[in-house]
């Protein structure tokens, strides 16, 4: 499948070529403006900050010879339209989480989040040192794209519910917002799963259009205001232990950059990746304390629900193994995760358990 050739000969491809021609004088002067679209509404805590940080870092690190013009969701294209917009050349790159686009290819889940999958550090190990980057390049090139890790929220919460969840049967008929393969897991438990952009979630919950939602974690959830609607908050979730946010460029645009500018993009995204992760970690604990002080009930799912999550997750993750790229990603991803976990459980995991025990 060579979508790049198709798009170059399509009407959108022609428009993109015309736009490139118009911009040629700016290139000749050594300056270039790149349009960045995002899956985030402007001001969404943490995720919009991540996109803005990355945009500003590229501009600053290039000395202004690359200027990134950020368009939040809805300002140029909708949140769920950014993938196609960058593929078609309507924008130069997007910042977002790619489980929104599993309709394009199911293997995009490995470069966003798998249920019961990798933590932030495990994903970084895989992507940078254990085969993930090469598989990413193979997959995204099908669509004329090149992806860079550019943010991570850390472990996401189980979500906000209108009632306590005591058994797997409580998910039957539940209208719940959860995208990606995590949402497919809830679907197997009988939930009516909704895939909504972040900027639309509060209104859907407040209006009763959905019975519950996951978003990110205490800080971003508090900023979104979900505690104004419901007080049942599950802080540990199965679905996103370390979701990866990508900065994804049109491959022709990336290839047209000088080696120096390509290095700027790569290093700016690396900086954005760790900066975003630490942003969430620095804010979550204090936000959780404020939520509790405001009457939010902080809960954990019982083991029976965790077991149901696990069984359904195994089914979901195995459903696309007839696709060669998906199967290759699956093998590489889980082999790397098991290797990383074998060490971290004996080092950091054991240390953390002992530190908590000794310090009380």
How far CA 134 is from CA of 32, 127, 131, 138, 158, in Å, comes to: 28, 8, 6, 6, 32
CATH of 9-151+243-281, one of 1.10.1270.20, 3.40.190.170, 3.30.565.10, 3.90.1140.10: 3.40.190.170
Please classify residue 64 by burial: count the beta carbons closer than 10 Å to its beta carbon, then call 0-12 exposed, 13-18 middle and 19+ buried: exposed
Q: Which CATH class is domain 159-241+284-359?
A: alpha beta
**154: which 2 tokens?**
């850390």
| Residue 24, pLDDT score | 36
169 and 65 Cβ atoms separated by less than 8 Å: no
71 and 17 Cβ atoms separated by less than 8 Å: no
Of 72, 58, 159, 145, the residue nearest 108 (C-alpha): 145
| Residue 360, pLDDT score | 80
Per-residue pLDDT of the chain (360 residues; tens, 9 = 90+): 444 443 433 333 333 333 333 333 334 346 999 999 999 999 999 999 999 999 999 999 999 999 999 999 999 999 999 999 999 999 999 999 999 999 999 999 999 999 999 999 999 999 999 999 999 999 999 999 999 999 999 999 999 999 999 999 999 999 999 999 999 999 999 999 999 999 999 999 999 999 999 999 999 999 999 999 999 999 999 999 999 999 999 999 999 999 999 999 999 999 999 999 999 999 999 999 999 999 999 999 999 999 999 999 999 999 999 999 999 999 999 999 999 999 999 999 999 999 999 998
| Residue 30, pLDDT score | 66
Q: Supply the DSSP symbol for 160.
A: E
The DSSP bridge partners found for residue 234 are 159, 299
353 and 149 Cβ atoms separated by less than 8 Å: no
Containing H/E element for 319? none
Query: Strand ranges (DSSP E) for 241-316?
Result: 244-250, 297-299
Do the domains 9-151+243-281 and 159-241+284-359 sit in the same CATH topology, yes or no?
A: yes
| Residue 16, pLDDT score | 36
**344: which 2 tokens?**
């971290």
Indicate the domain borders of the chain.
Answer: 9-151+243-281, 159-241+284-359
| Residue 6, pLDDT score | 33
**38: which 2 tokens?**
């995002």
| Residue 90, pLDDT score | 98
**72: which 2 tokens?**
């939040």
């Amino acid at each position: 499948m060579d979508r790049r050739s198709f798009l170059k000969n399509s009407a959108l491809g022609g428009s993109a070529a015309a736009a490139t021609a118009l911009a040629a004088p700016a290139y000749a002067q050594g300056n270039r403006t790149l349009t960045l679209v995002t899956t985030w509404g402007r001001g969404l805590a943490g995720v919009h900050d991540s996109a803005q940080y990355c945009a500003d870092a590229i501009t600053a690190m290039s000395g202004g010879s690359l200027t990134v013009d950020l368009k939040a969701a809805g300002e140029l294209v909708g949140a769920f339209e950014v993938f196609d917009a960058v593929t078609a050349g309507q924008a130069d790159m997007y910042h977002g989480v790619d489980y929104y686009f599993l309709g394009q290819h199911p293997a995009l889940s490995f470069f966003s989040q798998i249920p019961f999958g990798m933590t932030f550090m495990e994903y970084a190990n895989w992507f940078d040192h254990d085969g993930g980057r090469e598989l990413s390049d193979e997959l995204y090139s099908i669509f004329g794209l090149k992806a860079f890790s550019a943010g991570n929220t850390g472990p996401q919460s189980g979500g906000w519910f209108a009632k306590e969840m005591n058994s797997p049967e409580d998910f039957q008929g539940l209208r719940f917002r959860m995208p990606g393969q995590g949402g497919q897991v809830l679907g197997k438990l009988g939930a009516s799963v909704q895939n909504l952009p972040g900027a639309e979630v509060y209104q859907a919950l407040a209006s009763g259009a959905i019975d519950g939602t996951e978003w990110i974690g205490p800080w971003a959830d508090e900023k979104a205001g979900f505690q104004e609607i419901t007080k049942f908050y599950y802080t540990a979730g199965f679905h996103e232990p370390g979701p990866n946010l990508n900065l994804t460029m049109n491959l022709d645009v990336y290839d047209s950059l000088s080696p120096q500018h390509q290095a700027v993009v790569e290093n700016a995204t690396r900086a954005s990746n760790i900066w975003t992760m630490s942003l969430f970690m620095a804010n979550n604990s204090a936000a959780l304390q404020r939520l509790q002080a405001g009457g939010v009930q902080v809960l954990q799912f019982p083991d029976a629900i965790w077991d149901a999550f696990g069984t359904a997750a195994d089914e979901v993750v195995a459903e696309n193994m007839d696709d060669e790229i998906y199967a290759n990603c699956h093998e590489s991803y889980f082999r790397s995760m098991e290797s990383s976990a074998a060490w971290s459980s004996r080092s950091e995991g054991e240390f953390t358990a002992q530190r908590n025990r000794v310090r009380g």
